[in-house]
């Protein structure tokens, strides 16, 4: 008996049927449809065990190759595992609590930077304008008869599974759209009921944040054909959905042509990296001495004089295990400053992107502002004394690729610790593999501060 069926991905590629006779399908690399014959269960069982043993042997012998850096800092540079361990070993709970206090209105960014620079007032006059006819009345007909609201929301990333709505997960989009369900017009409500779908609104957003990433002024929009909906009604509906985790900053009626993503001119991200208690100002600033001491243990011909704690990389080259474990914030700042005012392809700094977006214009981003500085987290109302010392990284760009900010921060810290040159990040742009950059930094430190819909003002920054 012959039959055709698609390949099934089960274990090592076999699909078994528990019956008197069994069907077997061997996974092919091209994933094309294959002709399957009916085999006795005993034969299939033997072939399955043989294939499983071969597959296990292949996995066991698989070699994981690290990116081979060729510059002079290759022996001081952390591996992906070392970088990951260094980043995730930090006391992140202090940063998480700080973002939670901002969302709940107990603190603000002004408390972190000690300046009024953190108080932003965007001029969104362009998106507030409405179309006016020759008689001076507002033009609203057909699909343009709808009312569009711009909603700025602040939410704590640790309380949600990201922005994008997903089945069975607690997401920001899911909560917002459920709250907006009571403002849906009658026609759409009837349509949703006929399709047996929940009564929810539809919210577009400026940028989807990952799980654990907070936002202070995330911009989203919602439209309805109802004329009785007031901004205050939307504020109360969303604020009452999950108190303490999400808060509406403002709601305003905007032009019907407004789109929070496509209308945006720039986005601002802030990454807060906690420093250890023992990393005071003097030790952090003297990390270059640690790098110099690392290289002083190597002879002029490139061989290490100390034979202890040596590692062998994938190319068979000896490298030392005593790598610098501190970095200078000012070095990170110099590395990031090289990105300002340039349109570059950040494909090696992106993660989990589609293949179609790995080349060409989809990978190009323009960075307006990239700076790093030291600061101290303000103490909460229940604590006393001095807050934890942190490094703050501010990035402003026209767009950002997926996990791009987190990879940039982690790679900048890695390069600063290794004592790399100021143009190290620019040189990494030419890398052919994403293993050249560090794994993404933890999402706990990242926050979407705000989104701008007018041209970026260089004076409107957190870090000067």
Q: What is the pLDDT of residues 171-183, one digit of tens each?
A: 999 999 999 999 9
Name 23's bridge partners: 38
* Alpha-carbon distance values, 207 to 108, 121, 267, 346 (Å): 22, 20, 9, 17
Write out pLDDT tens, residues 81-116: 999 999 999 999 999 999 999 999 999 999 998 765
Crossing angle of helices 80-88 and 404-418, in 10° steps, is 100
Look at residue 230 and tell me whether its pLDDT is greater than 90. Answer: yes
Write out pLDDT tens, residues 289-316: 454 445 445 444 444 433 233 333 433 3
- The string of DSSP letters for 50-86 reads HHHHHHHHHHHT---PPP---STTTTTS--HHHHHHH
Kindly state the helix (H) or strand (E) to which residue 427 belongs, with its residue range.
helix 424-428
According to the model, what pLDDT value does residue 6 have? 41
Average pLDDT over residues 369-375: 97
Range(s) within the chain of domains with CATH label 3.30.70.580: 130-254
Which of these CATH numbers, 3.30.70.580, 3.40.50.2300, 3.40.50.970, 3.90.1150.10, describes 130-254?
3.30.70.580
Residue with tokens 């790679």: 411
- How many residues in total does the chain contain? 464
Question: Which residues are annotated as catalytic?
Answer: 210
Look at residue 57 and tell me whether its pLDDT is greater than 50. Answer: yes
CATH code for residues 80-95+270-452? 3.30.70.660
CA–CA distance, 350 with 368 (Å, rounded to integer): 18
Please list the alpha-helical segments (H only) found in 265-379. 281-285, 287-296, 329-337
Average pLDDT over residues 18-40: 44
CA–CA distance, 217 with 248 (Å, rounded to integer): 9
CA–CA distance, 419 with 416 (Å, rounded to integer): 5
Range(s) within the chain of domains with CATH label 3.30.70.660: 80-95+270-452
According to DSSP, the β-strands at 446-452 and 214-224 are: parallel
Residue with tokens 């992906």: 80
- pLDDT tier for residue 223 given thresholds of 50, 70 and 90: very high
Taking residue 421's Cβ as centre, other Cβ atoms within 10 Å add up to 15
Look at residue 8 and tell me whether its pLDDT is greater than 50. Answer: no
Write out pLDDT tens, residues 124-136: 554 554 454 445 5
According to the model, what pLDDT value does residue 282 have? 41
According to the model, what pLDDT value does residue 307 have? 29
């Amino acid at each position: 008996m012959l039959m055709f069926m698609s390949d099934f991905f089960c274990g090592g590629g076999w699909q078994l049927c528990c019956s008197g006779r069994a069907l077997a399908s061997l996974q092919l690399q091209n994933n094309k449809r294959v002709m399957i014959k009916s085999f006795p269960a005993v034969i299939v069982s033997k072939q399955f065990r043989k294939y499983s043993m071969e597959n296990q042997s292949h996995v066991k012998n698989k070699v994981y190759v690290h990116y081979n850096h060729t510059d002079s800092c290759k022996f001081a540079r952390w591996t992906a595992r070392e970088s990951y361990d260094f980043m995730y070993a930090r006391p992140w709970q202090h940063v998480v609590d700080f973002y939670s206090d901002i969302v709940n209105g107990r603190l603000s960014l002004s408390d972190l930077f000690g300046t009024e620079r953190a108080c932003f007032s965007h001029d969104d006059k362009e998106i507030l304008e409405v179309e006016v006819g020759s008689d001076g009345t507002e033009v609203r007909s057909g699909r343009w008869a709808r009312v569009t609201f711009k909603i700025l929301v602040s939410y704590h990333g640790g309380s949600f599974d990201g922005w994008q709505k997903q089945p069975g997960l607690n997401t920001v989009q899911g909560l917002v759209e459920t709250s907006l369900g009571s403002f849906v017009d009658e026609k759409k409500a009837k349509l949703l009921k006929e399709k047996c779908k929940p009564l929810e609104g539809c919210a577009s957003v400026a940028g989807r944040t990952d799980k654990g990433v907070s936002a202070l002024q995330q911009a989203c929009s919602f439209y309805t054909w109802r004329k009785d909906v007031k901004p205050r009604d939307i504020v109360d509906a969303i604020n009452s959905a999950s108190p303490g985790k999400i808060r509406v900053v403002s709601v305003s009626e905007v032009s019907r042509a407004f789109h929070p993503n496509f209308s945006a001119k720039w986005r601002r991200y802030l990454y807060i990296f906690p420093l250890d208690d023992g990393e005071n100002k003097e030790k952090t600033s003297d990390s270059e001495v640690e790098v110099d001491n690392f290289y002083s243990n190597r002879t002029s011909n490139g061989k290490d004089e100390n034979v202890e704690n040596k590692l062998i990389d994938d190319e068979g080259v000896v490298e030392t295990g005593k790598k610098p474990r501190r970095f200078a914030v000012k070095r990170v700042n110099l590395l990031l400053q090289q990105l300002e005012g340039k349109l570059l392809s950040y494909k090696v700094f992106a993660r989990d992107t589609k293949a179609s977006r790995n080349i060409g214009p989809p990978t190009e981003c323009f960075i307006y502002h990239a700076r790093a500085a030291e600061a101290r987290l303000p103490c909460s109302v229940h604590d006393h004394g001095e807050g934890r010392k942190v490094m703050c990284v501010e990035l402003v760009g026209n767009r950002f690729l997926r996990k791009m900010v987190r990879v940039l921060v982690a790679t900048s810290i890695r390069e600063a610790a290794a004592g790399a040159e100021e143009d190290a990040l620019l040189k990494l742009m030419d890398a052919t593999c994403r293993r050249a950059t560090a794994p993404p930094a933890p999402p706990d430190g990242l926050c979407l501060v705000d989104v701008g819909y007018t041209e970026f003002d260089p004076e409107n920054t957190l870090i000067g």
